[in-house]
Structure 1
């Protein structure tokens, strides 16, 4: 038996031959039906399968999604375009969702998918319903210039987003972004 093993070592190379020798030794031990060794092998296989399964599940979750939500004309689409291109562009009212991969400027090469949802009252809840389960972050965009006029609508929509049952199970990160800070607001009193 030793000569057969040494022939395998010589023909198969040092690493492959050593592995084959180890497998042959393991097979021989298993034939002897040692319950201790058998339980160790089963435990090792279970741990390896668990690690492979965990790696698979984790890789599926690793796609980070940030969803931009807010009222109509709060500046979600402009924020979306500025994050992706760094440029100011004229935008139009969205009637459907937009998504793109955003690469974070760090040395890890992190990226996430930005999703811009329409803010029109008749559309925003149905789009939020579609994307809320997969959101790892929610950015609630508020128009600072029109906040006093829209405070009731902003509060109602924010309440719906925060207390959503699936959102609470998913526990996404949450950010309230106050947009249009540079807009000059005029009051009715010109004294």
Structure 2
């Protein structure tokens, strides 16, 4: 009887062991044996390579997702540069009498391209007491910034325009995201309007001067240049080609050469927005 019990017990244990085994056990054992036979240095190299691949995938996912979030086109500039009329022309093509904005306005804008791209067009106030806070609110979502300049009185406003541009170009968020910067030299229908080329040249000179004075002022305070991005390249006169943003100057007229009843001359701006 004891022998029968012993045999039965052994058979039971054997059945339990067989039941606990899985079809993958031989492969797992083979893989374990191969890993033990490998050079430790090679194993470390493989692990590091896999880690790099995983980190790269995570980074690309974050980068691509952050790009898709930035779907706003910001209209910025000084007061009376023509931003709100340009806003209306881009959306409906119609002329609309405007007044100085004290808050933002936004609406979906469908770009004139085959992809049917749709952006959120946002008109920001241009008053110097408001522009900073509204820019702070929307800058992280900007896919493009349309900086509107009054070409007719540019010579009088060049300093103020340059200061606003300096604030944009040295902002850490804008510099990192690098939205397209489209400088729309508006009111070209007026006889005394300055050309886009002249406006670009004048702004480069003014920004070069501002960079020197601002850097000197910040350095004298605490020995550093603060948390903002350095404008351009050190040791070289400033040019727009030196900034991380893709900058394009263009001429336009939100009013149009035929006045209120005619069409706006904004084709160059629309083409640039279609390429975003």
Q: Scaled by the length of structure 1, what TM-score is found?
A: 0.68
- Note closer, same or farther for the CA distance 1:60–1:162 as it changes in structure 2 (3 Å cut): closer
- Looking at structure 2, the residues matched to 65 and 29 of structure 1 have their Cα atoms a distance apart, in angstroms, of 56
Match of 2:116 among 101, 109, 130: 109
- Note closer, same or farther for the CA distance 1:31–1:98 as it changes in structure 2 (3 Å cut): farther
Is 1:62 the counterpart of 2:68 in the alignment?
A: yes
C-alpha deviation, 1:127, in angstroms: 0.5
C-alpha deviation, 1:184, in angstroms: 3.6
Match of 1:11 in 2: none
After superposition, residues 1-191 of structure 1 pair within 5 angstroms as 30=24, 34=28, 54=61, 58=64, 61-63=67-69, 64-185=71-192
C-alpha deviation, 1:121, in angstroms: 0.9
Question: Which string of whole-angstrom CA distances, capped at 9 and with x for unpartnered residues, describes residues 97-145 of structure 1?
Answer: 1111111122211111111100011101111111111111111100011
C-alpha deviation, 1:185, in angstroms: 3.9
Question: Larger C-alpha radius of gyration, 1 or 2?
Answer: 2
- Looking at structure 2, the residues matched to 103 and 29 of structure 1 have their Cα atoms a distance apart, in angstroms, of 58
Gap regions ≥5 residues in structure 1: 1-27, 37-42, 187-191
- Looking at structure 2, the residues matched to 72 and 84 of structure 1 have their Cα atoms a distance apart, in angstroms, of 20
C-alpha deviation, 1:69, in angstroms: 0.7
Match of 2:207 in 1: none
Gap regions ≥5 residues in structure 2: 1-21, 32-49, 194-276
Question: Which string of whole-angstrom CA distances, capped at 9 and with x for unpartnered residues, describes residues 50-97 of structure 1?
Answer: 69x93x874564242111110011011111110000111111211111
Match of 2:12 in 1: none
The root-mean-square deviation of aligned C-alpha atoms, in Å, is 2.9
